[in-house]
Amino acid sequence: MSLFTTAGPSLLVPLGALGLVFGSFVTALSYRLPRGESITRGRSRCPACGHVLTIPDLVPVLSWVVQGGACRHCRAKVSWRYPAIEAVTMALFIAAGLSVDDLTHLVLLLAMTPAMVALAVIDLEYQRLPNSLSILLAALALAWRWQGDGDILAGLTAAAAVGVVGVLLDVGFRKLAGRPGLGMGDTKPFALAGLALPLGAFLLFLTIAGVLGVIYGRVWRWRLRISHFPYAPAILAAFWLCLVAGEPLLQRLVSLRIG
């Protein structure tokens, strides 16, 4: 039984609001972190006119809609990506509340979700995965495992195995094809999943990540006609899905095989 069924729909509104607030934090984080700006210090400014943004500019989604997607002061265009990030984070928070039963797991997931969205956004824009976010996620992934089957050693072993496979693939590709294969950065989200997910859910994750990756890669090639694309958003999506629904999905698969 999920918390949603016990606490009722009343949980939905505060979770959605919390998702919007964290989504707004993600937009600031994904802008400032790759630029080496402080996350805690300094107020947000319009990148075009430098105006310090105040509350009317910073209401998640609503400010963007009301102001017609432009800065209130200089009318410079504000990318649709900001309200999109806020809306996606809100949707993920609500989905988490609907799916995760255990309160500790829910709290951990609500901490992991903004970091995962930020990582995906930064990878899309800069093709890199900042270590600070990866380390934070690794700590949260271990806490998730601790609260789950408690097998921290298995988590660390899976993450190390991912690292070894990543290095071997990279070396192999360089030798055979003369180019890097899966970037070493892309092994990070795989290792994170290895830390958090028990073996069955991890195998399910690898399958979903593979399928999503192929679809995602085809879309990238078709839209932009490039062969090298940031892969982490697809892996992170598969990881998030397996965090919220890995175990029930596995149980359903097993019951299908038995039945």
Among 17, 49, 103, 152, which residue sits at the site for Zn ion (rule: CB under 5 A)?
49
Q: Least distance in Å: CB of 89 to Zn ion?
A: 24
Q: Least distance in Å: CB of 81 to Zn ion?
A: 17
| 73 counts as binding Zn ion under rule CB under 5 A | yes
Q: Least distance in Å: CB of 67 to Zn ion?
A: 10
Rounded distance between C-alpha atoms, residue 179 and residue 189, angstroms:
21
| 167 counts as binding Zn ion under rule CB under 5 A | no
Of 67 and 134, nearer to Zn ion (C-beta) is 67
Region near Zn ion per CB under 5 A, out of 13-21, 40-48, 77-85, 235-243: 40-48
HEC letters along 178-226: CCCCCCHHHHHHHHHHHHHCCHHHHHHHHHHHHHHHHHHHHHHHHHHCC
Please enumerate, as own/partner, the contacts of 241-245 that have beta carbons within 8 Å and a separation of 24 or more: 241/205, 241/208, 242/193, 242/197, 242/201, 242/202, 242/204, 242/205, 242/208, 243/109, 243/112, 243/144, 243/196, 243/197, 244/95, 244/96, 244/99, 244/100, 244/109, 245/99
Of 74 and 160, nearer to Zn ion (C-beta) is 74
| 70 counts as binding Zn ion under rule CB under 5 A | no
Q: Least distance in Å: CB of 45 to Zn ion?
A: 8
Q: Least distance in Å: CB of 36 to Zn ion?
A: 22
In the complex, the residues that contact Zn ion under the rule CB under 5 A are 46, 48-49, 71, 73-74, 76
